[in-house]
């Protein structure tokens, strides 16, 4: 994925949800694109409440271990679930 999407190596990093006990979540940003990565590091399902500034963007799913995923203000994640999204437009 790093070769297909240089933003992972070249973009800036912003940790979001710094105090969530189960989820590691961050944004990678370039001048033209943003990528949102959400990972549930727990064996328990969990609820993720994204900051409004993140949830209100138009996102396209790049990768997940589930059948589908969308970015909303509140997201439910399964155990060890991971989702990668990129901005549209």
The domain that holds 15 is classified in CATH as 2.60.40.1180
Query: Based on the structure, what is the number of domains in the chain?
Result: 1
Give the pLDDT score at 63.
Answer: 82
- Position 54 in a domain: yes
Regions of the chain short of the pLDDT cut 70:
1-9, 65-70
Give the pLDDT score at 74.
Answer: 87
Give the pLDDT score at 5.
Answer: 61
**SS3 at position 89:** coil
- Measured distance CA(72)–CA(45) in Å, rounded: 17
Q: Which residues touch 77 (CB under 8 Å, ≥6 apart)?
A: 22, 23, 38, 40, 45, 46, 47, 48, 83
Inter-residue contact 27 to 16 (CB < 8 Å):
yes
Give the pLDDT score at 35.
Answer: 92
Domain that holds residue 23: 7-87
- Position 81 in a domain: yes
Give the pLDDT score at 81.
Answer: 93
Inter-residue contact 34 to 6 (CB < 8 Å):
no
């Amino acid at each position: 994925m790093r070769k297909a999407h240089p933003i992972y190596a070249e973009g800036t990093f912003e940790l979001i949800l710094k105090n969530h006990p189960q989820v590691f979540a961050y944004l990678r940003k370039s001048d033209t694109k943003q990528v949102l990565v959400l990972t549930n590091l727990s064996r328990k399902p969990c609820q993720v409440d994204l900051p409004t500034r993140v949830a209100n963007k138009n996102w396209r799913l790049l990768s997940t271990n589930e059948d589908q995923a969308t970015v909303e203000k509140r997201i439910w994640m399964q155990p060890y679930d991971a989702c990668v999204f990129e901005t549209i437009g």
